[in-house]
Chains A and B, each alone.
Chain A
Amino acid sequence: MIDEIRKIVAERLNETDDKGARLDGMVALRRTGPAVAPHVFVAGDDLSTLEINPRYPLMTVVSRLHKRLPDIRLGVVARGCDERAYVEMAKRNQIDPERLVILGFACTAEEALECYCAEPFPKNLVVGTPAAPGPQNPIVAKYDTMTLAERRAFWKQQFVKCIKCYGCRNICPECFCEACAMEDKAWVEPGFLAPPFPAFHLIRAMHMASRCIACRQCEHTCPAHIPLTVLYDLMRRDMEALLGYVPGADLAALPPLSVTLEQTPLLLGDAHDPATIPLAPIGR
């Protein structure tokens, strides 16, 4: 697979489109010695150092390049989650779709399993064959039966580990804000770890409601091994049930929380009487 990707990247970098334009570069991972880091390959580069592992949110790099170099046209070697990240970022003007070519490859079945990934391949699939979706996260799968007390107990022992390193935010391709609510002292008390009310994590979860594309980068990054994607998977589930919105699925779909009920109606309950809007199941 990696050889095929390298070959296609080489071809793409040398191709000209119908207007005679070439890609200015291809964003991918590069191995230098023992380390792997994002890199912009240009035509003529040694592509034997191009890597696809470990997983890294390359769209963050694309976004920065697009913003700093307003004319640059890039390609990117992307997984399914990278492409979904692109959808939510492009929707919010962080990536210019006109200046990006996605060269997608499919994740392996093992990776899909590891990530509990429901869609382990991009729509712009160029290399590889789609693997079967991974299973649901087992904690998420049994969540409906957990009582409030059980949930509380579960998260208490998770959140207590949090050192507020902001790694989850920093790695997230969808956390592209200039200023962060989690650093605003109005919302998250500075100087306290694991405050009794988990505002830090809840604020991030709310901000992810229409953005989280389930790439699992936050959870992989977390030094405290907090199962953050359980929180976000449940948020994604509630979002889809209430507003029919699946982040990353459709570039044309407007962010549902920002538009009116006419544009994106509630799928559950009656907005005229909020008491009729049902909660997700809670174990008794």
Chain B
Amino acid sequence: MNKLIIDGAEYQAQDDQTILDVCRQNGIEIPTLCYHPAMEPYGACRLCTVEVIRHGWSNLHTACTHPAWDGLEVKTQSPAVYDVRRTLMGLFLSRCPHVPVIQNLARQYGVTEPPFATDDPDQKCILCGLCVRVCNDLVKANVINFSDRGIDRQVGPPFLEKTRDCIGCGACTIVCPTGAIDIVLEEAGVYAEKPLGPTAAIYVPSLQAVPRVPVIDTDSCIRFRQQDRSNGKIADACGVCQTLCEANAIDFDQQDEILDLTVGSVIVATGFEMWDPKKLSQYSYGRSPHIITGMEFERLSNAGGPTGGQILLSDGSKPKRVAIIHCVGSRDHNAHAYCSRICCMYSLKHAHLVRDKTGAEVYEFYMDMRAFGKGYEEFYERVQEEGVTMVRGRGAVVDVLPNGKLRVKGEDADLGKLLAVDVDMVVLSTAIEAPHDADKISALFGLGRTADGWFAEAHPKLRPVETNTDGVFLAGCAQGPKDVPDTVAHAGAASAAVLGLLDRGEVVIAPTVAEVNRDDCVGCGDCLLVCPYTAITRVEGKAQINAALCKGCGTCVATCPSGAIMALHFTDDQIVAQIDGVLAWA
């Protein structure tokens, strides 16, 4: 452990630390331009110069490259240091007079005007070489470097020409302290397909993710892209996240895994999908960028969205009139007959957001306002008081006018009149529906589905989270449309049902299972073919049923030619008695 004195106070340092490391660690401010924690220090910009006193000798050194030796005394604010930095900033400002970072730093050292003549007022590059080092040392793409010498020195790809070796990772633009590098996208659509808004190659998938740990998008991650591109020859590109992660949690070798788990129960919480409003052409969805779904509105209104949370039209202007149409695809026999339950409340929220953020007039076309939850009616009243125009009646048609405006037509049932409103933006509050591949889940777990496509609960009132398959439970919209509080309650009930099973440690099975009379069994094996649960095996040439596996369907009973299998509680004799009974009575 090294001890050193910085600006009169004593600090401790590790052998491999530099003076800059120790200062940063202890909150002592030292300006830098060419320093990046993920790369070896280089000392190009000299701005981190400090006064280092060793054995009584004083010297000016760059803090980023000087080891934090034992017994050093360091001055970061001495007049000599200040003079050096002032001189440096004068030089930088003369080279790059219009770069804000340089201007601000220069001002801190009392330099407000370039002290020397400026060659190129648009110059942004200070030739610190950080981009060169990133490209060569980290990304290992070796695409940019210095060329020429002296006053002609510059940074760029070979011969300053476009190169196919650039992988477009953008690392150089990110590290460049002065914003001197731009990436020009030549292929339209490359980034357009990416999610809107700031996204890195490593991110937390959603704010509600459990466990809340970041994932690496291998399609975007420089390390993986370089590996793919070089057929694995460049296996150690970038790794910045690994270098910087103090918890050492980054593991590039992790692979996607398919887990094979043996479990006692399953909660099916496969949720919903948004219904596609293109299916009803009268809403003109897709014919104007200003006809958007509620989900798209959420994205637009999100602070992390493409407009930073502002509600804007595609030309960047604020809408002046917005229509919100309820029940698009819900309560409609041409789409879904059911009520999607969540739309009324999110539509009201959207109306509130539009009023709040843009002050635009809002026309809300609704059939009935289903503000059924706690505090919902109060919110409805509040939105009304905010000046939203409520039109009771389904928004019937959206026309795109030649001038790009949108005309919403519908009936105002309260007035008994047809209505047409010209607006700048239409938000369609679309239905939610069962996922398109719900049939696969239903086949996998033997789940029933109601006519509207949602998974069927065992009983609509008394067993709302159970299914007809033992041990399989439903949570949330998998069972039917639900808002967040209802989903949380439903999921809680499902979890409690599972915990009940776990706690008991044993399961109770129905007594309606099949049983073999081995004397009558001839061992033909038809029942083994029939049983969907492999509950029947042949033991000593005759069928034997595992009662724990048997679900009691009785198909083997009807198949057995020998009548050797009995369905307990549904025996042939019992059924015959019923047949005779109902016919005698009738």
Contact of B526 with A178 in the complex, beta carbons under 8 Å: no
From 543 to 585 in chain B, residues with beta carbon under 8 angstroms from any chain A beta carbon are: 559, 561-564, 572-573, 576
A1 within 8 A of B: no
Contact of B561 with A93 in the complex, beta carbons under 8 Å: no
Chain B: minimal CB distance from A97 (Å): 14
A186 within 8 A of B: yes
**Nearest-neighbor residue (CB-CB) of B559 within chain A:** A258
A184 within 8 A of B: yes
In the complex, chain A residues whose CB is within 8 Å of the CB of B530: 258-259
Contact of B561 with A177 in the complex, beta carbons under 8 Å: yes
**Nearest-neighbor residue (CB-CB) of B556 within chain A:** A258
A92 within 8 A of B: yes
Known A-B contacts A186-B573, A186-B576; A179 and B564 likewise in contact (beta carbons under 8 Å): yes
Cα distance, A257 to B519, chains bound together (Å): 24
Chain B: minimal CB distance from A12 (Å): 28
Known A-B contacts A186-B576, A254-B529, A258-B526; A178 and B559 likewise in contact (beta carbons under 8 Å): no
Known A-B contacts A92-B525, A93-B541, A258-B530; A181 and B573 likewise in contact (beta carbons under 8 Å): no
B524 within 8 A of A: yes
Contact of B522 with A94 in the complex, beta carbons under 8 Å: yes
In the complex, chain B residues whose CB is within 8 Å of the CB of A257: 559
A155 within 8 A of B: no
Contact of A186 with B572 in the complex, beta carbons under 8 Å: yes
Interface size class of A (residues with CB under 8 A): 10 to 19
Pick the residue among B517, B522, B527, B538 that contacts A176 (CB under 8 A): B522
Cα distance, A48 to B521, chains bound together (Å): 40
Cα distance, A179 to B573, chains bound together (Å): 16
Pick the residue among B519, B524, B529, B563 that contacts A94 (CB under 8 A): B524
A152 within 8 A of B: no
Contact of B562 with A179 in the complex, beta carbons under 8 Å: yes
Contact of B563 with A184 in the complex, beta carbons under 8 Å: yes
Contact of B519 with A184 in the complex, beta carbons under 8 Å: no
Cα distance, A178 to B520, chains bound together (Å): 5
Chain A: minimal CB distance from B17 (Å): 68
Pick the residue among B523, B526, B541, B576 that contacts A255 (CB under 8 A): B526
In the complex, chain A residues whose CB is within 8 Å of the CB of B519: 178-179
Cα distance, A152 to B320, chains bound together (Å): 82
In the complex, chain B residues whose CB is within 8 Å of the CB of A176: 522, 524
Pick the residue among A177, A207, A255 that contacts B522 (CB under 8 A): A177
In the complex, chain A residues whose CB is within 8 Å of the CB of B573: 186
Chain A: minimal CB distance from B116 (Å): 84
- Dominant secondary structure of chain B at its interface with chain A: loop
Chain A: minimal CB distance from B515 (Å): 15
Contact of A178 with B564 in the complex, beta carbons under 8 Å: yes
In the complex, chain B residues whose CB is within 8 Å of the CB of A184: 563, 572
In the complex, chain A residues whose CB is within 8 Å of the CB of B541: 93
Cα distance, A267 to B522, chains bound together (Å): 31
Chain A: minimal CB distance from B162 (Å): 56
In the complex, chain B residues whose CB is within 8 Å of the CB of A207: 561
Chain B: minimal CB distance from A162 (Å): 21
In the complex, chain A residues whose CB is within 8 Å of the CB of B524: 92-94, 176-177
**Nearest-neighbor residue (CB-CB) of B572 within chain A:** A186
In the complex, chain B residues whose CB is within 8 Å of the CB of A93: 523-525, 538, 541
**Nearest-neighbor residue (CB-CB) of A70 within chain B:** B541
Cα distance, A207 to B559, chains bound together (Å): 9
Known A-B contacts A93-B541, A186-B576; A181 and B525 likewise in contact (beta carbons under 8 Å): no
Count chain A CB atoms within 10 A of each CB in B524, B561, B576 and give the residue with the most. Answer: B561
In the complex, chain A residues whose CB is within 8 Å of the CB of B563: 177, 179-181, 184
Contact of B529 with A178 in the complex, beta carbons under 8 Å: no
From 161 to 186 in chain A, residues with beta carbon under 8 angstroms from any chain B beta carbon are: 176-181, 184, 186
Contact of B529 with A181 in the complex, beta carbons under 8 Å: no
Count chain A CB atoms within 10 A of each CB in B520, B563, B564 and give the residue with the most. Answer: B563
Contact of A255 with B562 in the complex, beta carbons under 8 Å: no
In the complex, chain B residues whose CB is within 8 Å of the CB of A259: 529-530
Cα distance, A259 to B519, chains bound together (Å): 25
**Nearest-neighbor residue (CB-CB) of A207 within chain B:** B561
From 498 to 517 in chain B, residues with beta carbon under 8 angstroms from any chain A beta carbon are: 517
**Nearest-neighbor residue (CB-CB) of A259 within chain B:** B529
Contact of B562 with A177 in the complex, beta carbons under 8 Å: yes
Chain A: minimal CB distance from B556 (Å): 9
Contact of B572 with A178 in the complex, beta carbons under 8 Å: no
**Nearest-neighbor residue (CB-CB) of B523 within chain A:** A93
Cα distance, A254 to B559, chains bound together (Å): 14
Cα distance, A149 to B562, chains bound together (Å): 33
Count chain B CB atoms within 10 A of each CB in A186, A254, A257, A258 and give the residue with the most. Answer: A258
Cα distance, A108 to B378, chains bound together (Å): 95
Known A-B contacts A93-B541, A186-B572, A186-B573; A178 and B525 likewise in contact (beta carbons under 8 Å): no
Cα distance, A177 to B526, chains bound together (Å): 12
What are 24 inter-chain pairs, A to B, with CB distance below 8 A?
Answer: A92-B523, A93-B538, A93-B541, A94-B522, A94-B523, A94-B524, A176-B524, A177-B522, A177-B563, A178-B521, A178-B564, A179-B517, A179-B519, A179-B520, A180-B563, A181-B561, A181-B562, A181-B563, A184-B563, A254-B529, A255-B529, A258-B527, A259-B529, A259-B530
Residues on B lying within 8 angstroms of A by beta carbon are 517, 519-527, 529-530, 538, 541, 559, 561-564, 572-573, 576
Residues on A lying within 8 angstroms of B by beta carbon are 92-94, 176-181, 184, 186, 207, 254-255, 257-259
- 10 A-B pairs besides A93-B523, A180-B562 with CB distance below 8 A are A94-B522, A94-B523, A177-B563, A178-B562, A179-B520, A179-B562, A186-B573, A186-B576, A258-B527, A259-B530
